[in-house]
Amino acid sequence: MLHALCGSAEHAFIGIGSSNRYNSRNPFTLEETVDMLQLALAGRDNYTLIPVPDLDDGPRWRLMVRDIFGTLDAFVTDNPYVAHLLREDYLLLRPVALVPLEARVAVDGTMVRRELARGGDWRALVPPEIADYITSHHLDERFRREFGLETLALDSVVS
């Protein structure tokens, strides 16, 4: 999706949502996330990574996002709450709209976190350079230690 975004835009502003959170849904620090995004986008230079913290106040967050990003051709999100907040400010696109049908892969963060928690084949769900980064920094082990049980428990409640 990020390659499609950068391929379709003169310059892409990529927001790192929940940049101030470290929890089971956001199990990497901002610095780790930036490192992985830069690895995933290696060879591209038409993007800017922008931390977007959570404020726990939707209307205030909306104003902050408008201040951070200003005028945009479109805002890409798959988060229904974010789309609701920004519906009057931006042309909204879902990420899937940017990816050609033949290039679509049904993988999301929940699937990766679930496999990390299980000690399953999470490496098959992410690009090789990201898998190498996670293992070389022992982030898979840290995830299982800090968030594994919570992730598995949540998975059993949701399933």
What pLDDT shows up at residue 158? 56
The mean per-residue pLDDT over the stretch 81-102 comes to 92
Question: What CATH number is attached to the domain comprising 90?
Answer: 3.40.50.620
Q: Does position 64 have pLDDT exceeding 90, yes or no?
A: yes
Question: Given this model, what pLDDT does residue 157 score?
Answer: 60
- Take residue 114 and report the two structure tokens written for it: 């679930």
Q: How confident is the model at residue 113 (pLDDT cuts 50, 70, 90)?
A: very high
pLDDT digits (tens, 9 = 90+) for 65-83: 999 999 999 999 999 999 9
Can you give the pTM of this predicted structure? 0.90
- Quick check: 106 and 114 in contact, CB under 8 A? no
* Spatial separation of the C-alpha atoms in residues 33 and 26, rounded to whole Å: 9
Q: How confident is the model at residue 106 (pLDDT cuts 50, 70, 90)?
A: confident
How far apart (Å, rounded) are the C-alpha atoms in residues 76 and 96?
A: 9
Domain that holds residue 139: 105-159
> What is the predicted pLDDT for the residue at 56?
96
18: left (phi over 0), alpha (psi -120 to 50) or beta: left
Q: pLDDT tier at 105 (50, 70, 90 boundaries)?
A: confident
User: Do 11 and 27 share a domain, yes or no?
Assistant: yes
85, 112: one domain: no
- Among the candidates 86, 104, 122, a domain finishes at 104
State the pLDDT confidence band at 159, using cuts at 50, 70 and 90: low
DSSP for 96-159? GGGS-GGG-----HHHHHHHHHHT-SGGGGS-HHHHHHHHHTTHHHHHHHHHHHHHHHHHHHH-
